[in-house]
Amino acid sequence: MEPPKIWREKRGKYLAMGVECSDCMIKQFPFTEKCSACGSENVKEYKLATTGKVLHFSTVTQTTDEMMGSTPYLIAIIELDDGIKVTGQIVDCNLNEAKEGMDVRMVFRVLARNGSEGLIRYGYKFAPI
Amino acid sequence: MNKVGIVSFGSYIPRYRIKIEEIAKVWDEDPIEIKAQSQINSKSVPGPDEDVATMAVESARNAISRWKGKEKDLGAIYVGSESHPYVVKPTATIVAAALDVEKSLTAADLEFACKAGTAGMQMCFGLVKSKMISLGLAIGADSSQGRPRDPLEYTVGAGSAAFLIGSENIIAELEGTYSVTTDMPDFWRREGAVYPSHGVRFTGQPAYFKHTIDSSKGLMEELGTKTSDYQHVIFHQPNAKFPQAVARMLGFSKEQVELGLICKQMGNAYSASSILGFANVLNHANPGDQILLTSYGSGAGSDSFSFTITEAIDNIRPYKYDTQYYLNQCEYIEYGKYVRFKGILR
Ligand SMILES: [Zn+2]
């Protein structure tokens, strides 16, 4: 991933910053310049809830080269306490410990390392509460 | 004189632990003898997606979320570590972004072996006291390296502690700070080297003990305090024996040192070692208690601090994710997984 893209996505990945439309009030994630529901450009940042529940999860065994070192790992769809659904990795949880309905909270982790000399990407993942 | 002190604090210790027995098994060494030497039972190990930046952020978020002030007031962030993820590109800027406090603030990464965290605290105390900033954040975090089969492999852990330093709603008021600094060849890691080297027995008497004692005594002399004034005292914890021995030499009791002695369960978290012990004390201390904290960093130096706990401490306690939460939440791993998590396999 190129530095400009990492930099642009920083607030979304580090802070789980989404967007709220000031016209139709819909909240979305990730951030967009334009409301996907009504097309309004009258949008502002909205910080997602930091706790939620696991709706579905699965174990990833095949993925991109930079993430292969981390496999197998858990990926889940989380329904946050504000109703917004996001996808994220579950950490501090063994593969056989994950459950649907499990309460989780956002934690700050390494998302990927570009080899031993490239940039390290950080962002949110989820840990059991 | 305007008051200065700690206004909030946070801890972080990774979930994984490896027992001394598990490491000793690999090298055919006697775990009973090794445990008798260090009095450490297990050490903390970061997960494969954890490093000093992630641990620093978690501890800082804990400091902020238990506290009622505005993090936007932060005027300085210092992160002390000897295992920053980058040699060039600061950890402190990652912390600033992860706390959403970019951008009108100063920040830097510090290194002074195991005392870079307390060096950052002193810098924040100075900036707040001189009114150059109203709120500072000092963090000590490390993901310690220990060469396989080196005695350090048994004891070096990982963790982070963060302190918000300000002049309003102080929970631990600073009475004074004192440091000693000398050039000492006891422990080092060269640029590009993966593991530190050390002077084995040389690390004890002229290094750890001399600096810790001189700094603690220097502060007490300056303040006119005596050992019996302090309810709790915390020293750097390369093992559990050294801080207990130094306490004895200075005239402190076992009870005074006990609460801050957390390395038995998690090992020596380098820059986070003494200050995680201090954080654990802050979670339990009573208003009016006096606390002495002395760090030690190889190379070498010690920073001592004397604090008095105020009534305001109960505004930020209890807090779920305190030091004890992380000490309790642990999963023991085998050596193979430890090797994988530490990235020893290349
Ligand atoms: Zn809209």
How far is it, in rounded angstroms, from Cα B75 to Cα B83? 24
Region for A17 from its dihedrals, namely left if φ exceeds 0, alpha if ψ lies in -120 to 50, beta otherwise: beta
CB A48 within 8 A of CB A86: yes
Backbone φ and ψ for B247, nearest 5 degrees, come out as -60, -45
The structure tokens listed for A47 are: 């910080």
**Minimal CA separation from A50 to chain B, in Å:** 12
How far is it, in rounded angstroms, from Cα B23 to Cα B148? 9
pLDDT at A63: 87
Q: Above 70 in pLDDT, residue B346?
A: no
Q: Does B49 reach chain A within 8 Å, measured CB to CB? A: yes
Q: Is B82 a catalytic residue?
A: yes
How many other CB atoms are there within 10 angstroms of residue A39's CB atom?
10
Q: Does B191 reach chain A within 8 Å, measured CB to CB? A: no
How many other CB atoms are there within 10 angstroms of residue B248's CB atom?
12
Q: Does B100 reach chain A within 8 Å, measured CB to CB? A: yes
Cα-trace Rg, chain A: 16
How far is it, in rounded angstroms, from Cα B182 to Cα B220? 20
Of the residues B114, B175, B198, B263, which is catalytic? B114
Average pLDDT over residues B230-234: 98
In chain B, domain spans: 5-171+316-342, 173-313
pLDDT at B227: 98
B74-124 tens-digit pLDDT: 999 999 999 999 999 999 999 999 999 999 999 999 999 999 999 999 999
Q: Is B284 a catalytic residue?
A: no
Q: What is the domain-level CATH number for residue A57?
A: 2.40.50
pLDDT at B344: 83
Q: What range defines the domain where residue A63 resides?
A: 49-129
Nearest by Cα to B19 from B330, B236, B235: B330
Same fold, B5-171+316-342 and B173-313: yes
Say how many domains are in chain A.
2
CB B160 within 8 A of CB B85: no
Out of B58, B85, B100, name the one closest to residue A108 (CB). Answer: B58
Domain B5-171+316-342 belongs to what architecture?
Answer: 3-Layer(aba) Sandwich (3.40)
Q: Are residues A64 and A117 in the same domain?
A: yes
Q: Are residues A62 and A35 in the same domain?
A: no
pLDDT at B2: 86
CB B83 within 8 A of CB B53: no
CB B134 within 8 A of CB B75: yes
Nearest by Cα to B266 from B32, B10, B46: B46
A3-52 tens-digit pLDDT: 999 999 999 999 999 999 999 999 999 999 999 999 999 999 999 999 99
Q: How many helices (H) and strands (E) does chain A have?
A: 3, 8
Q: Does B320 reach chain A within 8 Å, measured CB to CB? A: no
Whole-number mean pLDDT of chain A? 95
Residue A88 Cα to ligand 1 midpoint, Å, equals: 25
Nearest by Cα to B273 from B137, B177, B144, B125: B144
Q: Is the ipTM of this complex over 0.85?
A: yes
A70 contacts B48? CB cut-off 8 A: yes
pTM beyond cutoff 0.95: yes
CB B24 within 8 A of CB B46: no
CATH class given for the domain over B173-313:
alpha beta
Out of B15, B49, B98, name the one closest to residue A110 (CB). Answer: B49
- B-chain CB neighbours of A108 within 8 Å are 54, 57-58, 61, 98
Nearest by Cα to B86 from A11, A123, A114: A114
A109 contacts B54? CB cut-off 8 A: yes
